[in-house]
Amino acid sequence: MKLGMWLDAVRRERPLVHNITNLVVTNIAANALLSVGASPVMAYAHEEVGEMASIAKALSLNMGTLTPDVVTAMRIAGRAAETKGVPIIFDPVGVGATAYRTQVATDLLRDVDVTVLRANAGEMSVLLGLAGEVKGVDALQADEALPTAMKHYALASSAVVIATGPVDLVTDGHTTWQLSNGHPLLAAITGSGCMLTALLGAFVGVVPEGSPLSTYAEACVAAITSYNVAAEQAAQKALGPGTFHMALFDCLYNLDSRAVDASAGVEVTGA
Amino acid sequence: MKLGMWLDAVRRERPLVHNITNLVVTNIAANALLSVGASPVMAYAHEEVGEMASIAKALSLNMGTLTPDVVTAMRIAGRAAETKGVPIIFDPVGVGATAYRTQVATDLLRDVDVTVLRANAGEMSVLLGLAGEVKGVDALQADEALPTAMKHYALASSAVVIATGPVDLVTDGHTTWQLSNGHPLLAAITGSGCMLTALLGAFVGVVPEGSPLSTYAEACVAAITSYNVAAEQAAQKALGPGTFHMALFDCLYNLDSRAVDASAGVEVTGA
Amino acid sequence: MKLGMWLDAVRRERPLVHNITNLVVTNIAANALLSVGASPVMAYAHEEVGEMASIAKALSLNMGTLTPDVVTAMRIAGRAAETKGVPIIFDPVGVGATAYRTQVATDLLRDVDVTVLRANAGEMSVLLGLAGEVKGVDALQADEALPTAMKHYALASSAVVIATGPVDLVTDGHTTWQLSNGHPLLAAITGSGCMLTALLGAFVGVVPEGSPLSTYAEACVAAITSYNVAAEQAAQKALGPGTFHMALFDCLYNLDSRAVDASAGVEVTGA
């Protein structure tokens, strides 16, 4: 599988990614998208989110600091995106930490037709009804049955399902990818998962309309691998989480698509 | 024209700049102001924005992630600033991207007496009724008739009008300045225009009360040139957008006012 | 007094710190907590703040960009924290700058049982009814009578009271600590006080339940000293406020608890 070609496509097409994200990562999600060559827009007003989502190439929804107002904005934007065939990425940050978060995530997944569902392994375990554990917004523990549960959910919902962690799992229900790139310093900066959620919008945003779900999954694998290879490069230049964070933007910006292919640690298993 | 003296004045007087800005740039707008020697305050509550704007030396309004609540705050603060003679800078981020943004920008410009109007060239084209194009919050295309339209608008509204891009245009209706400093990496970080909008508050905030509009224009030319010269210096130390961003704060902080005068690329044309 | 052991405890226990903070520092407060080894969560929805505060080890309240909605969230979270014995840190950012801020700070201190009250010296002077001065959110001037007033307030409210500045004052009403670590570059980045307020949550979050107030004060002394020693180290690697900011996260992450003890500038005086 060629992954670097997806990075090239992002840089060539500069897809507009509409983000409804949390207050912690607003700035860095935009910078991650710019660094990789995409065009970010953040818009929250109920008066405009539908129109903005309609002209975007992808809609990235992140419930990190959700409020009822933001949830309403996500629903309006989601409906507009569905109507126009704009793919939707959803990140149920901190699901399981409070009853409200679990309710909102469950409701949104029922009402909005999500193309990509991304969470860390602990959150995904909780969301799929397994015995995961979430402390605040940090994943503590994933469940052993997670890969199988993710496949079932992907098939039932026709979505790409992604659980990130030391090893990242991506499945479209038929094929599962295990991705081993990345670096522990990603866990030492806030919003490293949220930046990935934003980047998934960029890569999914260049998938030709009407492609099968497996193509969206492949774009997701390319997004995660690009991000994680950049993180590996950034860690080599970093003295700690502060310099790592800035080097991460540098390395995303300078990332060679051939290096993505050369460094990719991807293992594929059938369904 | 001496520009560096305006930077010296900002550092000497440390003007309080009240910002009502967007969620993407709240932190970096404050840091840009601190780096240049000004005193930033961010305040949004309807209960206090009037009082805060009244004690500020400038009010900087940026509609990047506007909501009806924020727009109301802008109106209250704007009215208080007008009453006290506090200059107002307005940045209609993303005007033209959605009908709501265009409506809000038009209404605010009708109702609030703006001293400085800053937008990128694409946004300014849309705002002045020309054939510009806006994608999300990124300018795509300016109109050839832009300089003339800006002059007319400046005269009609008694405001300094600024369109930024590879070459920045500043006009008070009588004189037009073309500014050629800057660096392409500014386009690779989010909020580079918004940071400038905040900095315009600092420089306009040290213009003596009762000065003619041409003096405010000169302070704006000094703000833009200082920012862009710092960006040129920062780019020399940067490996990409992450390290550029941090170097930009360093270079603003260390910027020599004589270097601003020595490096300034300013071309003046009569009206 | 051993201070480094508190840093070790934070890293060992990774306390969950629930922050209701301002829009300027949301990202950097979370990163400061992660850098020091704690687990940050930001949550604002009235629907969940009570539950989130209940499971946290500390609740850090910061009114930097307060709105009525955020103030309500602080009250709900504060009540839940009190019920569960979760210590509360309160930072009345900009108190005295507007009547609204002063009212909110006064009301919250009356209604919520705060364990740690932190402000800069100017704000603290205003809050305690002395002749301080506040410009926007910057402290201009503290009052000579401040140390005595702080002791009285600490005794009356059974809280640790902290006024930061070139020399930081910490008192539990019986003992007063004067802390001389730190670096002027802290004043050149926005939110340096707010990051400390977040970090106080991490250190107070590892104080064993039922400890006397003097133990909470000691944890606060350790938090401030750790932060300020990291700032001293960061300044040696910095070329200005941008690189200082990133080095500060690096140095917090790499901070040796023995270096905290070795570098600590702490002077203790009886009540």
pLDDT digits (tens, 9 = 90+) for C69-128: 999 999 999 999 999 999 999 999 999 999 999 999 999 999 999 999 999 999 999 999
CA-nearest residue of chain B to C104?
A: B47
Phi, psi of C59 (to 5 degrees): -120, 120
Residue B209, burial from CB neighbour count under 10 angstroms (0-12, 13-18, 19+): exposed
Which residues of B touch chain A, with CB atoms under 8 Å apart? Answer: 22-28, 64-68, 94, 97-101, 135-138, 188-191, 238-243, 245-246
The answer to whether C48 contacts A99, with C-beta atoms less than 8 Å apart, is yes
Dist. CA C56–CA A78, nearest whole Å: 32
**Residue C131, pLDDT score:** 75
Interchain CB contacts (distance < 8 Å): B and C? 101
Phi, psi of B82 (to 5 degrees): -55, -45
The answer to whether C68 contacts B47, with C-beta atoms less than 8 Å apart, is yes
Name the binding residues of C for substrate: 42, 191
For residues C30 and C197, the answer to whether their CB atoms sit within 8 Å is: no
CA-nearest residue of chain B to C135?
A: B16
Percent share of chain C, pLDDT over 90? 93
Radius of gyration of chain B (CA): 17
Interchain CB contacts (distance < 8 Å): A and C? 104
B94 in the Ramachandran plot: left (φ > 0), alpha (ψ -120 to 50) or beta? left
Choose the mutation target among C21, C22, C23, C248 for the interface with B, i.e. most B CBs under 10 Å. Answer: C23
At residue A105, does pLDDT exceed 90?
yes
With tokens 């409701």, the residue in question is A107
Chain B residues within an 8 Å CB radius of C189:
31, 34
**Residue B144, pLDDT score:** 77
**Closest approach of chain B CAs to the CA of C68, in angstroms?**
7
pLDDT digits (tens, 9 = 90+) for C154-169: 999 999 999 999 999 9
Residue B238, burial from CB neighbour count under 10 angstroms (0-12, 13-18, 19+): buried
Q: Pairing between strand B58-62 and B16-20?
A: parallel
Per-residue pLDDT, averaged over B224-237, amounts to: 98
Q: Pairing between strand B133-135 and B39-42?
A: unpaired
A124 annotated as ligand-binding: no
The answer to whether C30 contacts A191, with C-beta atoms less than 8 Å apart, is yes
Chain C residues within an 8 Å CB radius of B45:
65-68, 100
Average pLDDT score over chain B: 95
Percent share of chain B, pLDDT over 90? 93
At residue B182, does pLDDT exceed 80?
yes
Per-residue pLDDT, averaged over C202-221, amounts to: 98
- How does DSSP assign B40-105, residue by residue? EEE---TTTHHHHHHHSSEEEEE-TT--HHHHHHHHHHHHHHHHHT--EEEE-TTBTTBHHHHHHH
Per-residue pLDDT, averaged over B224-245, amounts to: 98
The answer to whether C34 contacts A67, with C-beta atoms less than 8 Å apart, is no
**Closest approach of chain A CAs to the CA of B39, in angstroms?**
21
Choose the mutation target among B103, B140, B190, B244 for the interface with A, i.e. most A CBs under 10 Å. Answer: B190
**Contact residues for C169 (Cβ-Cβ < 8 A; gap 6+):** C121, C146, C147, C150, C162, C163, C176, C177, C178, C179
CA-nearest residue of chain B to A50?
A: B98
Closest CB from B27, B35, B51 relative to C241: B35
- Sorting pLDDT into bands at 50, 70 and 90, what band is A141? low
Chain C residues within an 8 Å CB radius of A235:
none
Closest CB from C24, C239, C245 relative to B42: C24
Sign of CA dihedral A134, C90, B22, B201: negative
Dist. CA B214–CA B172, nearest whole Å: 6
Phi, psi of A143 (to 5 degrees): -100, 145
For residues A242 and C250, the answer to whether their CB atoms sit within 8 Å is: yes
Give the angle subtended at the CA of A64 by the CAs of A62 and A68, to the nearest 5°: 85
With tokens 């509204």, the residue in question is B157
The answer to whether A97 contacts C55, with C-beta atoms less than 8 Å apart, is yes
**Residue B270, pLDDT score:** 76
**Residue A142, pLDDT score:** 64
CA-nearest residue of chain C to A192?
A: C31
At residue C23, does pLDDT exceed 70?
yes
3-class secondary-structure state, position C33: helix
At residue A132, does pLDDT exceed 70?
no
Which residues of B touch chain C, with CB atoms under 8 Å apart? Answer: 16, 18, 23, 26-27, 30-31, 34-35, 39-45, 47-48, 51-52, 55-56, 69, 237, 245-254
The answer to whether B55 contacts C137, with C-beta atoms less than 8 Å apart, is no
**Closest approach of chain C CAs to the CA of A129, in angstroms?**
20
**Contact residues for B57 (Cβ-Cβ < 8 A; gap 6+):** B13, B15, B16, B17, B86, B201, B205, B206
Percent share of chain C, pLDDT over 70? 96
pLDDT digits (tens, 9 = 90+) for A228-262: 999 999 999 999 999 999 999 999 999 999 999 99
pLDDT digits (tens, 9 = 90+) for A10-28: 999 999 999 999 999 999 9
The residues with which A175 forms a beta bridge, in sequence order, are A270
**Residue A137, pLDDT score:** 62
Q: In what order do the strands lie in the sheet with C16-20?
A: C39-42, C16-20, C58-62, C88-91, C116-120, C160-164, C168-171, C175-179, C266-270
Chain B residues within an 8 Å CB radius of A237:
239
In terms of C-beta distances under 8 Å and separation of at least 24 residues, what long-range contacts does A184-188 make, across chains too?
A: A185/A231, A185/A234, A185/A235, A185/A238, A185/A240, A185/A241, A185/A244, A186/A228, A186/A231, A188/A240, A188/A241, A188/A244, A188/C34, A188/C35, A188/C253
**Closest approach of chain C CAs to the CA of A208, in angstroms?**
35
Closest CB from B39, B56, B69 relative to C138: B39
Domain B4-270 has CATH 3.30.70.80: no
Which residues of A touch chain C, with CB atoms under 8 Å apart? Answer: 22-28, 64-68, 94, 97-101, 135-138, 188-191, 238-243, 245-246
- Sorting pLDDT into bands at 50, 70 and 90, what band is B131? confident
Q: List the one residue out of A66, A69, A61 whose CA is nearest residue A89.
A: A61
The answer to whether B43 contacts C25, with C-beta atoms less than 8 Å apart, is no
The answer to whether A97 contacts C41, with C-beta atoms less than 8 Å apart, is yes
**Closest approach of chain C CAs to the CA of A191, in angstroms?**
8
Q: What is the pTM for the complete model shown?
A: 0.96
CA-nearest residue of chain A to B99?
A: A48
Chain A residues within an 8 Å CB radius of C237:
239
**Residue B137, pLDDT score:** 61
Choose the mutation target among B11, B14, B47 for the interface with C, i.e. most C CBs under 10 Å. Answer: B47
Choose the mutation target among B11, B35, B42, B62 for the interface with C, i.e. most C CBs under 10 Å. Answer: B42
A74 annotated as ligand-binding: no
At residue C135, does pLDDT exceed 70?
no
- Sorting pLDDT into bands at 50, 70 and 90, what band is A270? confident
Choose the mutation target among C48, C60, C189, C239 for the interface with A, i.e. most A CBs under 10 Å. Answer: C48
At residue C8, does pLDDT exceed 80?
yes
CA-nearest residue of chain A to C56?
A: A136
Chain B residues within an 8 Å CB radius of A42:
22-24, 64-65
For residues C36 and C12, the answer to whether their CB atoms sit within 8 Å is: no
**Closest approach of chain C CAs to the CA of A29, in angstroms?**
11
Dist. CA A195–CA A258, nearest whole Å: 22
Chain center to CA of C216 = 12
Closest CB from B48, B69, B254 relative to C101: B48
Chain A residues within an 8 Å CB radius of B239:
237, 247, 250, 254
Per-residue pLDDT, averaged over C218-232, amounts to: 98
Mean pLDDT lowest for which of A142-146, B30-34, B44-48? A142-146
Task: Give the number of residues written for chain A.
Answer: 271
How is residue A208 annotated by DSSP? P
